[in-house]
Structure 1
Amino acid sequence: MRFSVILALLFSATEARAQPPDETACVSACRSSFQRVAFVDGDPHASFYGKSCQSRLNTQSLYICLDLYCGTYNVDKLNATCVEEYGEGLLPHSIVDGMDEDDIAAVTRFNETTFAFGSKVDGLLLVDEGSFKRWLDTIESLNHAHYYHSAYGWAMGYFWLVVVAIAMVSRAIDVCEARRGAFPRQGSMRRWLKRNVQTPSTLGRRCAQDYGGWATVPPRIQSLTIGAFVVLNVWCSVHGYKIVPHNIYWPTVSGQVLRYVSDRTGIISFANFPLLWLFGMRNNVVLWLTGWDFGTSNNFHRWVARVATVQAVVHSAGYTAKILQDGGWAYFASWLTRLFWCAGEMATIAMCAILGLSFYWFRRQNYERFLVLHVGLSVLVLITMLLHVSIFNGEYDALFWVPLGIWVLDRVLRLARVLLFSYTFYTQADVWYNDAADMVRIEVPLEKSWYGVRPGTYYYLSVLDDACFWESHPFTVASVTLAGDEKRPGLLETGESSPLLSAANDDGFTSGVKNVRGDFVTFLVRPYDSFTGRLKRRAEMASPKSVKLKLVVDGPYGGTLPLEKFDEVVFVVGGSGIVVPISYLEVLVASMEGKRASKVAIHWAVRQAGFATEVLQRDLLAAATSSNISLSVYHTGSDSTTRLESDPVAWYNARINATRTVEEALAAGEGSIVVVACGPARMADAARQATVKGMGRSDRRIEYFKESFQW
């Protein structure tokens, strides 16, 4: 079987049926049949639609064709074009009312090969029946494809509307349950969904862990959503074509397939742009409606971008193949002189470059370079796409303006958040570095903030004193200290002469003193390279004193987990992930006093004993005032820093076994329980896997949350 026949079977949506011709297509077929000729009484500069407006011969010939082949028809669209271009409508049908059958029989018949393009004609014409049928098939095939071009472009938005609606319903159910003050036991159906769809990793045990440094695979519920989106895009790219054997515009089957598929993939790719920009913004209405975290939105952003890029490649490759098929390399070279064509090529190349630079290992190793290139290339793509679609006279311009509007709105909201935190735009923050702990502590005053700080939220910090002042990086809130509160052990007045740690008393603790500085929020930062490395060096030069830096604080972002609604809370954290339990401790302690939560267990894996001692003294122990809070520190390093040995802290010189830790916690209790993981990828995946297994063994309410450890 010939390849062209196979293509026809694959891409034809319908077959020709014996039925009256489509009214719109019939009018277009008659009008299109006169494309190659120029009636001598017409406007030689008229548009294709306007040729009939001032030529009596053209209009008479058109009416004869319509009366003979179309039966009922409507020329309102053509009439509107005449009014728009010439200020007067189409000549009335009465100009042919006096013609009888003999007059019509005397009209010159022609087909698509009778005249050379631009031939002058001084008489009436009528396309012959065979040529009209070919024109009608061609126009119906084109209209059929155009209908699905538009419908499937809109389908991208409708898909995500359905996804968001489902997420909103799920969130509404969770909110209603949380407002009752407790989580009930779950029914078998919801427990099955939690265990098999919502919580587990997609494949095996890897979720946070990458695959060979190339990519990570999101949780199963996200993968199913992404998979459905990919399938939808594939279906919309290959369905909805009517291939005809005698297409006048594109005579071969392969030519029709190349043209229609190239158009379709280009339109859907561009239709995905608003979604791509929406999911990539910090200030995202979808996050507000659904309660998704930024990681979920970012996964959708990446996959929409990947799909759009593949479609752009198919679009560009298809048109290139079509042009080479029609005229070879010389003909292809002539297209390179056209701005819209070159702009489209640049857009596709830039999209491919973004895709290549977005692999996991490059983002992790060169985040700042990735960000600059990502933003720069994205701007280039958007501008070149506007130039590329300029030939359509604004038909697709909205797909440029909507992403641009989303970007501008995001920047306006970012500025609003910055000014609500500090009306002077920046804040003077105190920054310390503790060499023994290898940790940077940032304390940001709150006296200029218009709102309170909620646990679990994060802020983007920019340092105006830094050479790369435009960079902003997210950090989770560790704690909030209010004016007049007794400060945590070890935290003295933060004048420039104050040491990082005060002297400990006989029990290993430092005496608490009153905070006289005013309200401030604390961020704990583990320095690595780049932004955090520069913070470390600035603070290290002033150590043991603090260094004052001008910080721009953009936030808050993220949400507060309803941990206080659970009977038991288990934190499995590593390194700087300890900020998550610190952030929630005050709320959880208050919940215990209200007889809600009965137990909080913090399991913390840390390499440096100095880091652990620093955080225990200054942040954890003063907040962990309830006997129902247990702290287990798993020291995996070799440093010999003196450890803080005191209840309720239990030290282990071993790696944390996250699987066993979670399994034991799930087996020991009876009420609702939540596992919160924030740490290295392997630890988080082990905690997730153990939680999923536990969901299948009990009807108690079991939840798993993973807080961002790497951004």
Structure 2
Amino acid sequence: MAATQTTHAAAASTTVTTPTPGPISDYDTGLGGVNQAQNMLFKDMLWWSLGIVALTILCLRMAEISWSHLRLVTTMSRPASSQTYWQKAQWSHMPWVKKQLTYAPIGSKRHNREIRFSSALNIGTLPTRLQTVLLSAYGFSNMVYMFFLNYSQPDHWALLAELRGRSGTLAAVNMIPLLIFATRNNPLIHLLRISFDTYNLLHRWLGRIVVFESVVHTLAWMIVQINDGGWASVGYKVVHDRFIGSGMVGTTTFIILVVISLSPLRHAFYETFLTTHILLALVIFICVWVHCATSAIVGGLPQLPWVIAVVLLWMAERLYRVGLQAYRSWSHNGLSNAVVEPMPGDCSRVTIHLPRFVDVQPGAHAYLRFADISPFECHPFSIAWVKHTPLGGSLLPMAETEKSPSKISGPLTGFNASRQGHLLQTSVSFVIGAQTGFTRKLYNRAVEACGDHSTSASFKALFEGPYAGHHSLDSYGHAVLVAGATGITHQISYLRRLIEGYADGTVATRRITLVWVVRDYEALEWVRPWMDEVMRMPQRHEILQVRIFVTRPNRQFQAAQLGSSSSRTIQLHSGRPNIPVLLRKEVSEQAGAMCVTVCGPGALADDVRAAVREVLDEGTVVDFVEESFTW
């Protein structure tokens, strides 16, 4: 009997101490039911995971730079026959890592070739295998953090409140890297030597994660609110409560933004998308700021400092762009002049004369804005050619400028140009293919302006950059440069650097093969002035071979092909190149470490990537660099 009474007393005691569910209104706003300690823990874990990945890549880049510098100093004064040590991989597993991870697409081949269901429907490109692993790991960690909740608690309204707090915290945390990845002045580009195109891919996927977390955050609140006061209470709070209203507008704007960012819509109306995307992002920043600042909690939600940091970073980067454009392009004479020459094949050759010196590295690109054509549009283009001339002097060809008497001694290239930059002004040249939108307007305006039989037109333009240019080929004994159509602009910038370096004994390069695929023979006119200068460079015939493939040959091509058959440097071929055969031939004649770079249509880039992965089985050092602007 006593034992029975004791058992009943214990049961009664247990019943009394069990927490009873509170009113629903305790969990539809504020921090009621929110596990803030865990929220901050997962915030730290997310930031630490991003930091550890960045630090790992930084260490790898520093080791890579050191290794390249060691390779350069030990080979730049040696012939090709003395670079065999650098031809073979020093770490036997590296070729496998490159083939199966860093250079590998998700499947067998397709990466940068756009997935098209029709001429009007394009759903974009696929990430690489390494990008997929990193994105999947980060997305999975977000899902684990968001749904790591206390499912044992008896009150499911408290569980929803915990989910609301967790998802809102994660969305706010992810907004910081989301913004950093979207900025082209992202300092991580230079530190980690990762292209802006890769960061843009990360930005798109991180944006989808943020939108998903924001929607979960809103739904978790809405379910509790509906059960507390019905749909009428939801509508009332959205209209009369700034805290709830700003959050609802922000989430709705997020959904609209992700819908218009879908690849078919983005590609079909890119100019409209770009402007709308910026405006909607601004609305979201304002709404999230108001949402965090107007909470009933004294001092606002704990996420408010992060939101303020995001807004300030966004404003600072935009102001920096404006300042950079003004500094590069503005002088007492006004905006820079851009000379635009319409070329065969619906292309424009553009040369912008900047009022001051700009140090441009090979492989760099810049953003152009034409005040007379599309003042609100700014697009990236690879820089093909650079000239430095004395301030106030005439814009003469480089050969004449170097002979002209001035305060400047030595050639106006490389180190001398950088050292004497305060005495120089720079001209940069591009080749811009006319597609749709801005590029088509530029070409049409140039054709109209040249209707009086003049060879060029002049427009006012803004220059923003240069960006990228962090891939140096100086330490490679063998460089294979593959270009498709206007992709030649990226590759021709390396030709000049490597040939000059070979003559000066400052690079390791002993063999350069340029492969250029064009549709028509007339396309050679795009780069004729620059190729003429390349062909006049001393000792270029010792290291340079040019293979031009014309996919639609005509009679003019056939006549030129007869002349090229006896040339040691330039050879013309009809049809498309067999990339695997070409690359295997280059590997069989490899001089030291080899770098293969490609800039052109996605299908060509995928062919080159696949060919590089094939030759990696031979254990040679073949690095691959792809230059692309996916959007």
Query: Which TM-score applies when normalising by structure 1?
Result: 0.72
- Show CA shifts across 1:567-606 (max 9, x none): 1111121000001121111111023332721111111111
What residue is the counterpart of 1:401 in the other structure? 308
What residue is the counterpart of 1:608 in the other structure? 520
**Match for residue 383 of structure 2 among 458, 469, 477:** 477
SS at 1:205's partner residue? coil
What residue is the counterpart of 2:9 in the other structure? none
What residue is the counterpart of 1:674 in the other structure? 595
1:54-453 alignment, distance < 5 Å: 133-134=18-19, 145-180=35-70, 181=72, 185-212=89-116, 213-241=122-150, 243-245=152-154, 251=155, 253=156, 255-337=157-239, 338-389=241-292, 390-391=294-295, 392=297, 393-394=299-300, 395-424=302-331, 426-434=335-343, 436-446=344-354, 448-453=355-360
Contact 1:350/1:377 (<8 A) preserved:
yes
What residue is the counterpart of 1:665 in the other structure? 586
| CA distance in structure 1 between the partners assigned to 2:107 and 2:475 by the alignment | 31
Query: CA 1:665 to 1:333, structure 2 compared with 1: closer, same or farther past 3 Å?
Result: same
Give the C-alpha shift of residue 616 in structure 1: 5.1
What residue is the counterpart of 2:366 in the other structure? 459
Contact 2:383/2:493 (<8 A) preserved:
yes
| CA distance in structure 2 between the partners assigned to 1:147 and 1:687 by the alignment | 50
Contact 2:33/2:159 (<8 A) preserved:
no
Kindly indicate whether residue 625 of structure 2 is the aligned counterpart of residue 705 of structure 1. Answer: yes
| CA distance in structure 2 between the partners assigned to 1:189 and 1:361 by the alignment | 40
- Show CA shifts across 1:645-669 (max 9, x none): 4332222221223333223323432
Amino acid corresponding to residue 203 of structure 2 in structure 1? H
| CA distance in structure 2 between the partners assigned to 1:235 and 1:170 by the alignment | 29
What residue is the counterpart of 1:689 in the other structure? 610
Give the C-alpha shift of residue 227 in structure 1: 1.1
Task: Compare 448-457 and 517-526 and name the one that shifted more.
Answer: 517-526
Query: CA 1:670 to 1:444, structure 2 compared with 1: closer, same or farther past 3 Å?
Result: closer
Contact 1:456/1:584 (<8 A) preserved:
yes
**Which protein is richer in helix relative to its size?**
2
Contact 2:34/2:161 (<8 A) preserved:
no
1:556-595 alignment, distance < 5 Å: 556-593=466-503, 594=505
Give the C-alpha shift of residue 136 in structure 1: 11
SS at 1:134's partner residue? coil
Task: Tell me the C-alpha RMSD between the 2 structures.
Answer: 2.8
What residue is the counterpart of 2:465 in the other structure? 555
What residue is the counterpart of 1:123 in the other structure? none
Contact 2:349/2:526 (<8 A) preserved:
no
Query: CA 1:551 to 1:345, structure 2 compared with 1: closer, same or farther past 3 Å?
Result: same
- Show CA shifts across 1:25-74 (max 9, x none): xxxxxxxxxxxxxxxxxxxxxxxxxxxxxxxxxxxxxxxxxxxxxxxxxx
Kindly indicate whether residue 555 of structure 2 is the aligned counterpart of residue 618 of structure 1. Answer: no
SS at 1:563's partner residue? coil
Contact 2:153/2:159 (<8 A) preserved:
no
What residue is the counterpart of 1:83 in the other structure? none
SS at 2:534's partner residue? coil
Query: CA 1:142 to 1:346, structure 2 compared with 1: closer, same or farther past 3 Å?
Result: closer
Query: Which TM-score applies when normalising by structure 2?
Result: 0.80
What residue is the counterpart of 2:408 in the other structure? none
Amino acid corresponding to residue 236 of structure 1 in structure 2? Y
Higher relative contact order (CA 8 A, sep 6+): 2
- Show CA shifts across 1:196-236 (max 9, x none): 22121122211112334223222222221111110110110
| CA distance in structure 2 between the partners assigned to 1:211 and 1:668 by the alignment | 36
| CA distance in structure 1 between the partners assigned to 2:471 and 2:500 by the alignment | 15
Larger-gyration structure (1/2): 1
Contact 1:678/1:709 (<8 A) preserved:
no
| CA distance in structure 1 between the partners assigned to 2:469 and 2:231 by the alignment | 57
Give the C-alpha shift of residue 131 in structure 1: 5.3
Contact 2:149/2:159 (<8 A) preserved:
no
SS at 1:602's partner residue? strand
Contact 1:601/1:631 (<8 A) preserved:
yes
SS at 1:371's partner residue? helix
Give the C-alpha shift of residue 693 in structure 1: 2.0
Amino acid corresponding to residue 407 of structure 1 in structure 2? W
- Where in structure 1 are there 5+ consecutive unaligned residues? 1-127, 246-250, 490-516
| CA distance in structure 2 between the partners assigned to 1:681 and 1:152 by the alignment | 39
Give the C-alpha shift of residue 359 in structure 1: 2.4
Contact 2:357/2:425 (<8 A) preserved:
no
Contact 1:417/1:556 (<8 A) preserved:
no
Kindly indicate whether residue 577 of structure 2 is the aligned counterpart of residue 656 of structure 1. Answer: yes
Give the C-alpha shift of residue 641 in structure 1: 4.7
Give the C-alpha shift of residue 387 in structure 1: 2.3
Task: Compare 392-401 and 600-609 and name the one that shifted more.
Answer: 392-401
| CA distance in structure 2 between the partners assigned to 1:412 and 1:660 by the alignment | 49
Give the C-alpha shift of residue 276 in structure 1: 0.8
Amino acid corresponding to residue 472 of structure 1 in structure 2? C
Give the C-alpha shift of residue 237 in structure 1: 0.7
Give the C-alpha shift of residue 263 in structure 1: 2.0
Q: Percent identity?
A: 22
Contact 1:488/1:619 (<8 A) preserved:
no
Amino acid corresponding to residue 479 of structure 1 in structure 2? W
Amino acid corresponding to residue 245 of structure 2 in structure 1? C
SS at 2:45's partner residue? helix
Contact 2:356/2:426 (<8 A) preserved:
no
- Where in structure 2 are there 5+ consecutive unaligned residues? 1-12, 76-85, 117-121, 400-423
Amino acid corresponding to residue 493 of structure 2 in structure 1? S
Query: CA 1:485 to 1:534, structure 2 compared with 1: closer, same or farther past 3 Å?
Result: closer
SS at 2:19's partner residue? helix
| CA distance in structure 2 between the partners assigned to 1:155 and 1:347 by the alignment | 26
Give the C-alpha shift of residue 265 in structure 1: 1.0
Contact 1:145/1:241 (<8 A) preserved:
no
Give the C-alpha shift of residue 443 in structure 1: 1.1
Task: Compare 130-139 and 421-430 and name the one that shifted more.
Answer: 130-139
Give the C-alpha shift of residue 701 in structure 1: 1.6
| CA distance in structure 1 between the partners assigned to 2:180 and 2:377 by the alignment | 21
Contact 1:462/1:553 (<8 A) preserved:
yes
Amino acid corresponding to residue 302 of structure 1 in structure 2? R
